[in-house]
Amino acid sequence: MFYFKFTRPVFLVAVLSSYVLSATLAEEPQPPAQVAPVIAEGLVTPETEVDLASPSEGLFMEVVVKEGAFLEKGAPIARLNNEEVEIQLRLAELQSRQSDQDYESTKRLFEQNAASRDDMNRAMLMAKRAAAECDLLKIRLRDRTITSPVAGYVIRILKDPGESVQRLEKVAEIVSLQRKSIIVYLDAASFGKLRQGMKAEIDSSISGLADLSGAVEIIDPILDAGGTSYRIKILVEDPQNLLSAGTRVPVKILPQ
């Protein structure tokens, strides 16, 4: 009896401690399962391809660049005939200066009680209208020079000097190669496991591309019609133009 009086509490404490420890361990969060890298092959495409349209109609007077040339953003490509618009702008600027002088004269008369407020408001309106006409003609004159909207290479010039062009007619093709998109179609088994911003590496076995990497930019939210694959787009900075557009390269996507 003496033995059971002192050992039973010890036994109960040991059992309870073991139960509490097991429950505590069971409630501890488990680390998330690691997602294996996804290896696939993708098609290299330029990030930006531009079908450049003429903002105005007219005659091609001068083509400034040749096909294959590299252009900075805003660099001229071609110029349309602009003599008529230049003359209209000079006349409008003369009218604007005259309207400004009329407004200042009317304002002084109003301050001397020699003109009404309506007279001053009309003069001010005429001055603003003349200034707006100048601004409009400056835009029209600017549109007579066709410029590149991006930094890139001129692939094609579709008009020759002397040919007419209509407003919004395609006149050139430009491609930017400083950044590349890699289009990859992945098996449906990995659907939902990738996220935007995940790192993607170009296979280092390709000569000269060991240091190139990018990030997942776009993930299609649905599978294709057959339910077997989906598309992602990887964006890669490529200032040295190491990736050739139109080629296929192996990539490794590293889930975070």
Question: Per residue in 73-82, pLDDT tens?
Answer: 999 999 999 9
Q: Residue 112: is its pLDDT beyond 50?
A: yes
Number of domains in the chain: 2
**pLDDT classification of 177: cutoffs 50, 70, 90:** confident
CA of residue 182 relative to chain centroid, distance: 16
Q: Are 190 and 238 in contact (CB under 8 A)?
A: no
Q: Supply the pLDDT for residue 25.
A: 45
> Do 197 and 242 belong together in one domain?
yes
Mean per-residue pLDDT over the chain, rounded: 85
- Name residues whose C-beta falls within 8 Å of residue 241's C-beta, 6 or more positions apart in sequence: 177, 178
* pLDDT of amino acid 97: 97
Q: Could you list the residue range(s) of the whole structural domain that residue 230 is in? A: 38-47+177-254
Among candidate residues 119, 142, 165, the one where a domain is terminated: 142
- The residues near 177 (Cβ < 8 Å, ≥ 6 apart) are 46, 152, 153, 238, 241, 245
Among 65, 55, 53, 62, smallest CA distance to 80 is for 62
Phi, psi of 93 (to 5 degrees): -65, -40
pLDDT of residue 254: 85
245 with 191, same domain: the answer is yes
How sure is the predictor about 30, in pLDDT bands with cuts at 50, 70 and 90? low
Same domain, 248 and 186: yes
Q: 17 pLDDT exceeds 80?
A: no
- Say how many C-beta atoms besides its own lie within 10 A of residue 217's C-beta: 16
pLDDT tens, position by position, 120-131: 999 999 999 999
pLDDT at residue 4 tops 70? no
Inside any domain, residue 240: yes
Encode pLDDT of 190-221 as tens digits.
898 899 999 998 876 654 566 788 999 999 99
State the CATH number of the domain containing residue 226: 2.40.30.170
Q: Flag whether 107 is in a domain.
A: yes
Q: Is 187 found in the same domain as 244?
A: yes
Both 249 and 181 in a single domain?
Answer: yes
49-63, 136-150, 176-190, 199-213: which range is least confident on average?
199-213
Residue 97 in domain: yes
Residues 6+ apart with CB under 8 A from 83: none
Q: Tell me if 7 is assigned to some domain.
A: no
Looking at 142, 168, 194, which one is the last position of a domain?
142
Tell me the residue length of the chain: 256
d(CA 238, CA 195): 22
Which pLDDT value is given to residue 28? 55
Q: Which regions of 164-228 does DSSP assign to beta strands (E)?
A: 164-165, 170-187, 199-202, 213-219
Based on the fold, state whether residues 138 and 190 are members of the same structural domain: no
Look-up: residue for tokens 């096909």? 67
**Residue 71 lies inside a defined structural domain of this protein:** no
| Residue 220 pLDDT | 95
* One domain for residues 43 and 88: no
Decide if 83 contacts 59 (C-beta within 8 A).
Answer: no
Q: Final residue of a domain: which of 142, 163, 189?
A: 142
pLDDT at res. 206: 58
Q: Tell me: do 196 and 243 sit in the same domain.
A: yes
